A and B are shown apart, each in its own frame.
Chain A
Amino acid sequence: MTKSKIVSVDEAVAEIQDGAKVALGGWIFNSQPMALVRALIRKRARNLHLIPAPGSIAPDMLIGAGCAASTVCVFISFEQFGLAPHFRRQSESGALKVHDLDGPGIAGGLRAGICDLPYMPVPDLGTDLPKFAPEHYWPLPSKEGERKMLAVAAIKPDVCLLHAQQADEHGNVQYLGPPFFDAMIAQASRRVIVSVDRIVSTDTIRRSNHLTKLPGAMVDAIVEAPFGAHPTASPSLFRSDGAHLKEYVKSSASSETFGGYLDRYVRTASPDAYLDVIGGSRLAALAVSETNLK
């Protein structure tokens, strides 16, 4: 029997070096790997190069806490709550280097990374993206009558942080909702760390094996982190916490108030203490059930 892949949240991020290329999974207010992000901030990670799937608070909090030197931006948004506050501020001040990539840039780049190819061809769509990210996009020769093509550079994250609903000790990860870009990110990354809301037995995994989107061989570490995506949703288990997201945006108005936010929710709080600060009734109200449909 192989050794269990289950580790604590702090053990999981311990080997992430300053300056690492860190990919983040999920989608905007879904499955942001927040327990892992908070652990990275507690560890005082520095100069990270972020590669987030379309995201919100996971890249924004790392940027706000001073952990990031650069980020890829496919889409970073707080949707109904506005623009991502720290991403916006540090981009506008010039402190944060932003590599704008479009869907073909990230998808083609990850595919090239997965396949050990230097680049993937994508159609040249006539945008300004290559002008501002020439290290990611360059023209490819095309024959008469063919579509104009660009190369997009392979993307190979050193590590990726993902959140899913359940896994077993062997690292078989099951998604009970949309997996978004997570499987592609995992395939392209050198090291794959996944937090899950619950650990289940391998028998449970086998009974619904079609839900296993990341088989154990693709996964290096599993962290049990109930509500580990909070304040974003873990599809089918709990919803996003709009009140907390608003509080985050409000607290981001100044470095003092944001320091207060980090002290309260991140710096001193272990994953268990975090849930205590959020509060049991608050978390219970986020659980997905037919009786609390809003």
Chain B
Amino acid sequence: MSANPSLGETLAVLLARDIADGEKVIIGTNSDIQLAACNLARRMQAPRLWWISGPGGMVNPTRDHLLSTADYENVESAESWMDLPVMIDFIDWKIHFFDFAILSALQVDRFGNINTVVVGDQRKPKVRGPGTVGISALCGLAKRFYVCLTRHDRSAFVPRVDFLCGPGHMEGGDSRERMGLPPGGPKLVLSPLGVFDFAPGSKAMRVRSISPGVTLEQIRDSTAFDLVVDGAPPVTAMPNDQELDLLRKHVDRRGDLRRKFP
């Protein structure tokens, strides 16, 4: 295979590997990596993955390149089209309709809670983010979720999010269940430095694998809380030739992931 995978391509492949056949998933707005992961999974082990776009309400569009999930040219290639007022019952109220969602964030914390609203105080924020949209309901009500970040530093990996808009494991332990939320929460957090999961019991973020060429020290320095480390975490298995070939020929023909997330 030609060039090494870009960050965006690597994240898409790592996510695609974790998707099971027949699962139901929702993809939000501005979601190139998420969309690529789902379409790649459909080319690999999950041909019957069912994905719907939050804004467009389209199901399983079949383009060989990445387009916005609200884009009409994507909608045109979908097998069905649900009106938003019908779909929101599944998004906002129903428990476990979706197997998972893949979300991005301004901040993620030690227990996998996420923030897309503000950095600082909501009334006079340091950074005003785009807002919550379906994130609260998907984190709260899907069977699991993934957090996919294209940067890893102490302003993104924080002890406690400044504004909790997507509930993860809340305060850790069984606090999510005590809050009255259905079973679920974050399964994996992916960043340029590694892949993270949550330790059983404490539900605190744990290093699962480390990107090639990155050290545990680097990860610790870039994270503003103590990560759980069990033994010596392995190096993340990078995309193989077959995965990259499928991704570049059938999912992202225009190379958007390489351009946007080098």
Bind each other: yes
Give Cα A181–Cα B128 distance, bound, in whole angstroms.
24
Interface residues of A (CB under 8 A from B): 27-30, 54, 73-77, 79-80, 83-84, 87-88, 91-94, 98, 100-104, 107-108, 122-129, 132, 147-148, 177-181, 183-184, 233, 235-236, 239, 288, 293
Q: Are A236 and B128 also in contact (CB < 8 A) when A103-B91, A104-B93, A126-B167 are?
A: no
Give Cα A80–Cα B33 distance, bound, in whole angstroms.
13
Pairs of residues from A and B, 8 with the lowest C-beta to C-beta distance, nearest first: A125-B140, A77-B130, A91-B128, A235-B72, A148-B180, A102-B132, A75-B133, A104-B92
Total A-B pairs, Cβ < 8 A: 164
Q: Are A91 and B93 also in contact (CB < 8 A) when A103-B88, A177-B75 are?
A: no
State which of A88, A125, A180, A233 has its C-beta within 8 Å of the C-beta of B136.
Answer: A125
B128 and A123: CB pair below 8 A?
no
- Tell me if B229 counts as interface (CB < 8 A to partner A): no
A27 and B130: CB pair below 8 A?
no
B92 and A126: CB pair below 8 A?
no
A293 and B29: CB pair below 8 A?
no
B167 and A75: CB pair below 8 A?
no
Give Cα A75–Cα B104 distance, bound, in whole angstroms.
14
* B contact residues around A288 at 8 Å (CB): 72-73
B130 and A125: CB pair below 8 A?
no
Give Cα A79–Cα B91 distance, bound, in whole angstroms.
22
State which of B127, B128, B134, B176 has its C-beta within 8 Å of the C-beta of A102.
Answer: B134
Q: Are A233 and B123 also in contact (CB < 8 A) when A75-B130, A84-B130, A123-B141 are?
A: no
A100 and B83: CB pair below 8 A?
no
* A contact residues around B176 at 8 Å (CB): 126
* B contact residues around A122 at 8 Å (CB): 92-93
Give Cα A29–Cα B135 distance, bound, in whole angstroms.
20
The distance from the CB of A135 to the nearest CB of chain B, in whole angstroms, is 14
**Of all chain A residues, which has the CB nearest B82?**
A178
